Amino acid sequence: MKTADSPKHDTGSLPRLARACTRHRWIVIGAWVVLLVGVNAAAGAVGPDFKTDFTFPESETKQVQELLEANAPDRAGFTAQIVARSEQGFDDPDVRATLEDLLAFVDSQGDITVTSPYDSPQQISPDGTIAFAQLDIADTRSFTELTDIGNEIIDYGTKVNTVDGLQIEYGGDLFAEFVMPESEIYGLIAAVIILILAFGSVLAMGLPIGTALFGLGVASALVTIGSHIISMPDFTTAMVAMIGIGVGIDYALFIVTRYRENLRAGASVEDAIVASMDTSGRAVLFAGITVIIALMGLFLMGLNFVQGVAVASALGVLLVMASSLTLLPALLGWVGRRIDQTTWAALAAVALVVVGAIVGIFAGASAVFIAGLGLAIVLFAASFAIRPLRRFVPHRHEAPREQQGWYRWSRFIQHRPWPSAIAAVVVLVVLAIPLLSIRLGFGDYGNYPQDATVRKAYDLIADGFGPGSNGPLFVTVEGAAATDQAQLGAFVAAIEATPDVAFTVPNPISDSVALVIVYPDSAPQDAETSTLVDALRNEVIPASGLDAKVGGFTAGATDFSAYLGSRMPLLIGVVLALSFLLLMAVFRSILVPLKAVIMNLLSIGAAYGVIVAIFQWGWFSDVIGVAKPGPIDAWIPMFLFAIVFGLSMDYEVFLLSRIKEEYERTKNNSLAVADGLAATARVITAAALIMFCVFFAFVLGDDRSLKLFGFGLAIAVLIDATIVRMLLVPATMELLGDKNWWIPRWLDRILPRIDVEGHHGEFNTTDDDSSGGATISGEPMPVDGAQPADRTQSVR
């Protein structure tokens, strides 16, 4: 039992929680196991109910959609095409019989309006070799149901097409294959490799990953259950996994790193855990809250499917944060001082699993991974009989902090603060310049791989009718003109005379509504198509005097982009303001939170600029497999801002909280910056590398939008963890000196106090049931050859 006074870390609820979790570790571990199994059993019983509740914001497109829903529901959904190329033309009896058979099968599926090329001659190319059938699908079925229908149509078409020289391809949303990259798998492999290399311990690697997986497992199950309550799109679980695995490993990693540091400073196991939770644990709690605030800021966008993703992602962050603050202390209490002990058998077993996983993923053979896992189990079992396998891997000698590379780097920057700060700002501003020309929109199927049927269909239509035929505009006409052939004909003629219009197809719908389908010359994602939408709305329709509106998905992309662009300043402003206030309360400073907000904006702006240069301008696009330049998908900037800002604040809090802790102890700003950077740089770099690998895995897929999203996240994390965190922060902290920590007295009095530095004091430890540590008082005792933790005889 404890015989000495408890250290000062016992004040506060978080240290008491940590001590309780450590002493009752088996109850805590058991509770998490029961929770994990229970919620996953419940999720398995009810099943998922994911659906994309996508509705256009208030706009002309939405008015067109509502009008069509009331008069022609099939026209109010989305479109697809069945495209054919026939060497013998489309009057050939066998060709016509095959296509009519296929189109009859499509029509029998229900809620699909088929416009056959045999009923609409404009849908046969001038040379008579390419034709397409337009499919208008009512939005009455789930994503899974529509995917199944699309697969059935393709299978039926393959079966009935026995005509030589007849090629049939399938285009549009109904036939597109959407495969979410398993980025969390790549992230886990990267985490194992990076943490082993960085810390040289299997347990120090395994605890952060295991803790994150527990929290993520519970969160994913709760999200599945929650999909019955809140509308969530199909990709929600993948988004939760991507964010959860990243921040979960980060949070646990910071705590484990501080725990090992405290052990080496001479603390008992229990006191090392409590002290870690009272310092790094507080930073984790605050950082998690900041990420949740950034994600919940997405509610300001006013879109249902965005709000569903925001709630699910915030829940994921909350659960991995909870596992880091409760499960991790229990696991650390169980592992104790073995945290730095790794046998050759354990190291070799991990290597076998990693190699098997990498080869299995890229070879597409799960048997390789299973074989690697089996060999790892055999090797580990053999270590109980073969003594050399149980030998410990030698510890790497850790140099005194003043001799470490990151300490010397900080001193290098601090001796040259102006050149360093100016260079960093110039680089960030230059990278952000392309942002000034950003064009929001949506990519089209011309970006898909050339062997995909949707890409082949896109290319065939573009060859036969021009690229604009892949994204028609829907123009509705209401009133008497809808049935007045003269008026409607004159209106159609005016539309066809408009630049960038290829041809039109008028369709009467009811006695009071007509639909004119307009096929542009330009592709759906081209800027010229957006210009055509504006010309029809602002010039052609007003000049006609008719009650007409322009809608459809292609026009909707223009409206949706404009809507999101108008809401982004509100999202950015609210998130920045809340983050500034929180950071001001935490660090009792005006300049520190102001710098943090500005630097995060610079890093995000630089990331935006890079994706504009690559995906919109086409610079180096071939390197990452982007087929052609196009707009930045309208949904990406808002998600990118929320996620990247939250992660940037994570690193900011972890670094600044350690610097503030050192400053409170030494009252020496320069020394505090150097010590704080040296203490956190390795773990921040490791965490950033893990996140980079998780996000960059999206670039390995075929979908342009996912490539854009993943590359933007990866480059933002890379910029933030290098240029900002390791160059700009120490330079500006040195330039401002003690002014970093200035705050007006009146403001200091009214601000709530949020302590993320914890309490500083000396450990008084003794052998007890939980620690088995040696009694120390006064100067920290080096462990495993490590030097004392600092130069002031105080353990942090």
**What DSSP string describes 43-62?**
HHHH---------PPSSHHH
pLDDT band per the 50, 70, 90 thresholds, residue 49 = confident
Residue 279 Cα distances to 506, 657, 786, angstroms: 69, 8, 21
> Smallest Cα–Cα separation from 331: which of 35, 37, 30?
30
> Does the structure show a pLDDT above 80 at 791?
no
pLDDT band per the 50, 70, 90 thresholds, residue 10 = low
DSSP for 142-179, please give it: -HHHHHHHHHHHHHHHHHH---TTEEEEEEEGGG----
The token duo for 265 is 């400073």
Q: What is the mean pLDDT of the segment spanning 434-458?
A: 89
Q: What is the pLDDT of residue 176?
A: 83
Q: What is the mean pLDDT of the segment spanning 81-101?
A: 93
- Interhelix angle 591-611/729-736, rounded to 10 degrees, is 150
Q: What is the pTM of this model?
A: 0.83
> Does the structure show a pLDDT above 60 at 760?
no
Q: What is the pLDDT of residue 183?
A: 65
Alpha carbons 734 and 738: distance in angstroms, whole number: 9
> Does the structure show a pLDDT above 80 at 778?
no
> Does the structure show a pLDDT above 80 at 179?
no
> Does the structure show a pLDDT above 60 at 2?
no
> Smallest Cα–Cα separation from 444: which of 521, 551, 553, 560?
553
Q: What is the pLDDT of residue 142?
A: 66
Q: What is the pLDDT of residue 182?
A: 67
> Smallest Cα–Cα separation from 293: which of 658, 605, 589, 572?
572
Q: Look at residue 620 and give its three-state secondary structure.
A: coil
Cα dihedral value 54, 56, 61, 64, nearest 10: 70
Q: What is the pLDDT of residue 685?
A: 87
pLDDT band per the 50, 70, 90 thresholds, residue 756 = low
Residue of higher predicted confidence among 374 and 646? 374
Q: What is the mean pLDDT of the segment spanning 570-585?
A: 90
Report H helices in 161-235: 183-199, 202-226
Are β-strands 632-633 and 440-441 bridged in parallel, bridged antiparallel, or unpaired?
parallel
Q: What is the mean pLDDT of the segment spanning 462-483?
A: 89
The lowest-confidence range among 94-103, 587-596, 606-615, 747-756 is 747-756
Tens digit of each residue's pLDDT (9 = 90 or more) over 671-710: 888 888 888 888 888 888 888 888 888 887 777 888 898 8
Residue of higher predicted confidence among 328 and 704? 328
> Does the structure show a pLDDT above 70 at 9?
no
- Backbone dihedral region of 285: left (phi > 0), alpha (psi from -120 to 50 degrees) or beta? alpha
Backbone φ and ψ of 526, nearest 5°: -75, 150
Q: What percent of the chain has pLDDT over 90?
A: 42
Backbone φ and ψ of 790, nearest 5°: -155, -175
Q: What is the mean pLDDT of the segment spanning 530-546?
A: 93
pLDDT band per the 50, 70, 90 thresholds, residue 763 = low
Q: What is the mean pLDDT of the segment spanning 704-720?
A: 90
DSSP for 642-692, please give it: HHHHHHHHHHHHHHHHHHHHHHHHH--HHHHHHHHHHHHHHHHHHHHHHHH
The lowest-confidence range among 115-124, 136-145, 485-494, 639-648 is 136-145
Contacts of 783-790 with CB under 8 Å at 24 or more apart are 783/263, 783/264, 783/265, 783/266, 784/264, 784/340, 784/395, 785/395, 785/397, 785/398, 786/264, 786/265, 786/398, 787/398, 787/399, 787/400, 787/401, 788/265, 789/261, 789/264, 789/265, 790/401, 790/665, 790/675
Tens digit of each residue's pLDDT (9 = 90 or more) over 384-397: 888 888 888 887 67
The lowest-confidence range among 305-314, 427-436, 621-630 is 621-630
Q: Using alpha carbons only, what angle is made at residue 160 by residues 154 and 163, rounded to the nearest 5 degrees?
A: 115
Tens digit of each residue's pLDDT (9 = 90 or more) over 219-246: 999 999 999 998 888 778 888 988 888 8
> Does the structure show a pLDDT above 50 at 333?
yes
> Does the structure show a pLDDT above 50 at 790?
no
Q: What is the mean pLDDT of the segment spanning 349-365?
A: 86
Alpha carbons 285 and 480: distance in angstroms, whole number: 64
Q: What is the distance, to the nearest Å, from the Cα of residue 144 to the centroid of all Cα atoms in its chain?
A: 23
Tell me what the pLDDT averaged over the chain comes to.
Answer: 86
pLDDT band per the 50, 70, 90 thresholds, residue 638 = very high
The lowest-confidence range among 107-111, 144-148, 165-169 is 144-148
> Smallest Cα–Cα separation from 650: which of 711, 603, 710?
603
Most confident of 173-177, 472-476, 775-779: 472-476
The token duo for 633 is 């998908």
Residue of higher predicted confidence among 792 and 253? 253
